[in-house]
Amino acid sequence: MHHFRYQDNELFCEGVSVEALARRHGTPLYVYSQQTLTDNFRRLDGAWADVRHLPCYAVKANSNLAILRLMVELGSGFDVVSGGELQRVLAAGGRADRCVFAGVAKTEAEIVAALRSGIHCFNVESEQELERIDRLAGELGVVAPVALRVNPDVEARTHAKITTGTYENKFGIPFDHVESLYARAARKRHLWLRGLQMHIGSQLTRVQPFEEAVQKVAPLARRLKDRYGIEFFDIGGGLGIVYEDALASGDPAWWRTPRARKMLTPETYAARLIPHLAPLGLRILMEPGRFITGNAGILVTRVEYIKQTGRKTFVIVDAAMTELIRPAFYDAYHEIVPVRRRKAAVTECDVVGGVCESGDYFCKDRPLPLPKPGDLLALFSAGAYGSAMGSNYNSRPLAAEVLVHGRRAALVRQRQPLEAIWQWERPAPWQV
């Protein structure tokens, strides 16, 4: 569920009018619901109450400091994939000893900074990375906590660009190589074999791939616990969200529909995996990102023009792939609704942005109530991998972001001033 709904044909986020927010802060504008963020975290956390566990929020999904601060207040750990993300967590009041550091290309500077901050664990992606961490820990005179990321070679059956758990992907260490690498790592004085990690992909809507991966890797985790005393098994993230019928999914009754019953819920996810994990006696870490923030955010955009070519009706808006790249990058679906509902002819439309790329679109040939210039539209399920993947392409400023809590709203990122886009650029000394 989420807390976006119509009141008298006007879209509200919790108790605040979305139209009023757009008038105050302009568009494109991200709007987040704090209650939805809180509900999603607590629902997932509660589903795992029967085992020792720690949700580590995946910062890459949405790294706004206000959202990170909320996760700190809710008791979350964090999954970071860069030194910058670690610094963001610390800036939001989080602790490094509740962060796991993933990513295939950790630099020496990032590893040193994480060691000095007291990182909970490195999720190690390769043998060379393990050697680098050992060397740098030795130079600092510390012991580095590590967990090897095992690639279980399990097909997640999700989008090809977000599958991570097969040997075709760049992530992790092949399943058949992991035990021998743990044996070599155990002989290194500056490594602490603290856990085991895996992650098979994102936006999974069926439990079977998760269960298949856990069944394959759990016996390995048990052997590593017996031999090296590892403390945790990190099963990664990937729990999917609603993209189609996203507006309707805010209604509790929607969850009793046939479509909803096919969705993978946190309760089913936990119920199917805990029987395989509880006997291990290990703390279970997980890395939710999209599940927490995806349906907690919308992107509000204003219609600039309606353009009809004889073959197409283009709804041209002031948001673009610079604010939400997922449709261009993944051909991803985002539900699009009017912020203020009115009677209008339903027309097949392409909703497009103004970036000079043919791939800059939010939907193609979708039946929508035809808006007018000046109308506001809301793109749902934009709270994850929206703002976080934003860019300045075409010298467009980064969008503003608002967090709503009940009847209160706060600007949690101001719109980027144009001059800030090029503030670190300089002409060469020989240029007049």
Q: Tell me: the pLDDT tens digits for 227-281?
A: 999 999 999 999 999 999 999 999 999 988 888 888 899 999 999 999 999 999 9
Contact 211, 275 (CB under 8 A): no
CA-to-CA distance for 52 and 141, rounded, in angstroms? 31
CA gyration radius, the chain = 23
Residue 404 lies in a domain: yes
Residues annotated as catalytic (active site), given as ranges: 356
Residue 118 lies in a domain: yes
CATH number of the domain where residue 388 is located: 2.40.37.10
CA-to-CA distance for 266 and 291, rounded, in angstroms? 9
Contact 97, 119 (CB under 8 A): yes
Looking at the structure, tell me whether residues 248 and 325 fall in a common domain: no
- pLDDT surpasses 50 at 186: yes
- pLDDT surpasses 80 at 314: yes
Let me know the angle formed at the C-alpha of 79 by 73 and 85, rounded to the nearest 5 degrees: 85
Amino acid, single-letter form, for residue 338: P
Looking at the structure, tell me whether residues 254 and 301 fall in a common domain: no
The average pLDDT across 325-347 equals 95
Looking at the structure, tell me whether residues 148 and 228 fall in a common domain: yes
Residue 204 lies in a domain: yes
- The pLDDT score that the predictor gives to residue 168 is 56
Residues spanned by the domain of 309: 295-416
- The pLDDT score that the predictor gives to residue 171 is 72
- The pLDDT score that the predictor gives to residue 106 is 97
Say what the pTM is.
Answer: 0.94
- The pLDDT score that the predictor gives to residue 161 is 45
- The pLDDT score that the predictor gives to residue 169 is 66
Residue 1 lies in a domain: no
Looking at the structure, tell me whether residues 220 and 290 fall in a common domain: yes
- The pLDDT score that the predictor gives to residue 172 is 84
CA-to-CA distance for 62 and 32, rounded, in angstroms? 11
Task: Write out the DSSP string of 251-269.
Answer: SGGGGGSHHHHTSPPHHHH
Q: Which of 31, 42, 39 is nearest to 2 (CA)?
A: 39
Confidence tier at 159 by pLDDT (50, 70, 90): very low
Residue 388 lies in a domain: yes
Looking at the structure, tell me whether residues 185 and 46 fall in a common domain: yes
The average pLDDT across 122-144 equals 97
Higher pLDDT, 139 or 151: 139
Structure tokens at 26: 């302009």
- The pLDDT score that the predictor gives to residue 202 is 86
Residue 13 lies in a domain: no
Looking at the structure, tell me whether residues 117 and 189 fall in a common domain: yes
- The pLDDT score that the predictor gives to residue 377 is 98
For 329, counting Cβ atoms within 10 Å of its Cβ (0-12 exposed, 13-18 middle, 19+ buried), the class is middle
Tell me which DSSP letter residue 56 carries: E
- The pLDDT score that the predictor gives to residue 164 is 47
CA-to-CA distance for 123 and 198, rounded, in angstroms? 9
Q: Which of 171, 177, 182, 179 is nearest to 149 (CA)?
A: 171
| pLDDT (tens digit per residue) in 93-109 | 999 999 999 999 999 99
Looking at the structure, tell me whether residues 149 and 273 fall in a common domain: yes
Alpha-carbon dihedral angle through residues 62, 66, 72, 77, given to the nearest 10 degrees: 10
For 380, how many CA atoms within 13 A lie in the half-sphere containing its CB?
25
Looking at the structure, tell me whether residues 97 and 134 fall in a common domain: yes
Beta carbons within 8 Å of 386's beta carbon, 6+ residues apart: 30, 62, 297, 299, 323, 324, 326
Sign of torsion, CA 38 39 44 45? positive
CA-to-CA distance for 178 and 195, rounded, in angstroms? 12
- pLDDT surpasses 50 at 70: yes
Confidence tier at 148 by pLDDT (50, 70, 90): very high
Looking at the structure, tell me whether residues 311 and 376 fall in a common domain: yes
Looking at the structure, tell me whether residues 283 and 310 fall in a common domain: no
CA-to-CA distance for 324 and 381, rounded, in angstroms? 11
Beta carbons within 8 Å of 194's beta carbon, 6+ residues apart: 120, 121, 145, 146, 147, 230, 231, 232
The average pLDDT across 36-60 equals 98
User: How many residues does the structure list for the chain?
Assistant: 432
The average pLDDT across 50-73 equals 98
| pLDDT (tens digit per residue) in 80-94 | 999 999 999 999 999
CATH number of the domain where residue 214 is located: 3.20.20.10
> Which SS3 state, helix, strand or coil, does residue 36 take?
helix
Looking at the structure, tell me whether residues 77 and 199 fall in a common domain: yes
- The pLDDT score that the predictor gives to residue 259 is 82
- pLDDT surpasses 70 at 163: no
State the total domains in the chain. 2
- The pLDDT score that the predictor gives to residue 388 is 97
Alpha helices in 118-174 (DSSP H): 127-140
| pLDDT (tens digit per residue) in 340-352 | 999 999 999 999 9
Pick the last residue of a domain from 248, 271, 294: 294
Looking at the structure, tell me whether residues 222 and 333 fall in a common domain: no
- The pLDDT score that the predictor gives to residue 432 is 76
Tell me which DSSP letter residue 115 carries: H
- The pLDDT score that the predictor gives to residue 154 is 76
- The pLDDT score that the predictor gives to residue 157 is 52
Residue 263 lies in a domain: yes
CA-to-CA distance for 348 and 314, rounded, in angstroms? 9
- The pLDDT score that the predictor gives to residue 260 is 84
Strand ordering across the sheet containing 10-13: 4-7, 10-13, 16-17
Confidence tier at 170 by pLDDT (50, 70, 90): low
Residue 217 lies in a domain: yes
The average pLDDT across 14-38 equals 98
